[in-house]
Amino acid sequence: MKKINGGVCVPVGFKANGIHCGIRKNKVKKDLSLICSEKVGTCAAVYTKNLVKGAPLLVTKKHLENGKAQVIICNSGNANTCNADGIEIAEKMSSLIAKALKVKTDDVVVASTGVIGQPLSLEPIKAGIPELVKGLSAKNGKAAAEGIMTTDTVLKESAVEVTLGGKKCHIGGIAKGSGMIHPNMATMLVFITSDAAISAEMLQKALSYEADETFNMISIDGDTSTNDMVTVLANGMAGNASIDSVNADYRKFREALGVVMADLSRKIAKDGEGATKLLECRVEGASGRRVARTVAKAVICSSLFKAAMFGADANWGRVLCAIGYSGADVDVNKIDVSFRSKAGLIDVCKNGAGVDFSEDKAKKILLEDEIEILINLNSGKTRATAWGCDLTYDYVKINGDYRT
């Protein structure tokens, strides 16, 4: 397996495009994206656990009951959530693009992102579909990635190549996410494609497992969105023998999928609203998977710790505090904590107690834009990683008038 450049158009048989159709007032920003496979493939998805769900999620879930899809359409600038006609609008988006591409409406994944509770007009979408379809190309993956962005400052894509059954297969993905990120299933909006042949059941199994290891381990602000969704569409055009059971090829596919998802997770966390630093919390020596994940996520979610990282303050007590209230079964007298960046490594806590360290060296380490928080629970062999960002003044500025 190896990482390669590109996103959703890296796998064989996929084209994409992104345009400005008029949903957003800023004509420079794209607001409608399309991803299309040459043939129907298997498709899996995970959705937000928020009880308030965007209408597109409900429609997509219905369409994917048979585990198949061919097209993904997504608009930005409006979440189509909490609207009386939301289901109708999402269904109509699906039927309009299905008609234009001559595919089945049930084979369309539909998604929306943006402001909640604002009516979504179909007119700009309907008017933009001819241009959207005309521009479909294997070279327009970045345009599709741009079209799903809201407060994102950079587009996010990732791809890998992996050999399955003697055939070169590919997995590529794009993501949007910068704020309202504290997932409890998946996260934000993420669209992943693959040319591997894999059953819908095995695809769902792989996605659900890796979502827990990656997207569910991000937190930017503690808010779980209403429109969070991750989909994986695999068209089988690489020609490998179909993966229909948990075998060696399934494990290789899942690992490759996990690499793409982890890469996108880091990029989402680093692009958190107002963020100046990526925080990566690595926990080892845990007694079990749940303990490791709970500890890592608790530290990343701590507003006090995030604020300390913004100020480059080596306040390791906030790490211990977060572990202590996390609910994880740990021996606090065995915990070691260190901070690391490209500027160096410094130990700040041993066996649950502070150690002498240079504040000047710590400051230098924490002034970097990517910081690792290394925690050893010294109670087992399990590991977990969580991603987040610092909490800055700009986060409040961005969200103080997001709607208006």
Q: State the pLDDT at residue 54.
A: 86
**pTM score above 0.85:** yes
Question: CA angle, corner 110, sides to 73 and 93, nearest 5?
Answer: 80
**Alpha carbons within 13 A on the beta-carbon side of 271:** 20
Which option is the CATH number for 278-400: 3.40.50.2000, 3.10.20.340, 3.30.1330.80, 3.30.70.270? Answer: 3.10.20.340
- What is the average pLDDT value for the chain, to the nearest integer? 92
Report the percent of the chain where pLDDT is more than 70: 95
Residue spans in the chain of domains classed CATH 3.60.70.12: 2-270
Residue listed under structure tokens 């059954």: 165
2-270 is a CATH 2.30.40.10 domain: no
CATH 3.10.20.340 residue ranges in the chain? 278-400
Higher pLDDT, 403 or 338: 338
Residue bearing the bigger pLDDT, 98 or 218: 98
Q: What is the mean pLDDT of residues 62-81?
A: 96
Separation between Cα atoms, residue 156 and residue 142, nearest integer Å: 9
Compute the average pLDDT of residues 140-164: 94
The pLDDT of 296-305, averaged and rounded, is 94
Please write the tens of the pLDDT for every residue from 185-241. Answer: 434 799 999 999 999 999 999 999 999 899 888 876 555 556 689 999 999 999 999
- Share above pLDDT 90 across residues of the chain, in percent, rounded to a whole number: 80
Angle, CA 226 vertex, CA 220 and CA 231 arms, to 5°? 85
Residues annotated catalytic, as ranges: 187
Quick check: 37 pLDDT over 80? Answer: yes
Q: What is the mean pLDDT of residues 173-177?
A: 91
pLDDT of 404 > 70? The answer is no
